[in-house]
Amino acid sequence: MANTLVQFRAEETLRIKAVEICERLGIDLQTYLRMCMSRLIQENGIPFRMKLEPETENKGLKAMQAASRIAEKCGISEMSLEEINAEISAARE
C-alpha cells in the first residue's frame, strides 16, 4: 500500500502539549494520528476516548507503584530478567 504525506497546521503550543500526552501514553504523535485515521474509517465516526487520569486516580499506575514498593520491601526489586523467569518457571512446576 502506498504511503502519502498528510500535513496540517497547528499552534506550536498545542503540538507540544499533544506530544507530551502521547509520550506519557507511550506512543508518538504520528502513531496517534495514524490510529485516529484508522479507527475513524473502521467505525465510520469518532469511536474512542483515550484519556490520562490524574496520577492520584490512575489505578494501573497505583498498582505498579504498590508492586514496586512490595518488591523493594521484599528485597527483590533488583532481580534480573533471568532471575524473574527462573522464579516463574519454579512456581509453575
**Is 52 within the bounds of a domain?**
yes
Average pLDDT of the chain to the nearest whole number: 86
| pLDDT tens per residue across span 21-55 | 999 999 999 999 999 899 899 989 888 776 776 76
Residue 79 falls inside a structural domain: yes
The structural domain count of the chain equals: 1
For residue 46, tell me if it sits in a domain.
yes
Measured distance CA(69)–CA(65) in Å, rounded: 6
Q: Is residue 2 part of a domain?
A: no
| Whether 32 contacts 39, CB under 8 Å | no
Report pTM: 0.51
Residue 68 lies in a domain: yes
Q: What pLDDT was estimated at residue 55?
A: 62
User: Which residues lie below 8 Å from residue 56, measured CB to CB, with a gap of 6+?
Assistant: none
CA atoms lying within 13 Å on the CB side of residue 65: 8
In a domain, 25, yes or no: yes
User: Structural domain of residue 28, as residue ranges?
Assistant: 12-92
Instruction: Judge whether 1 lies within some domain.
Output: no
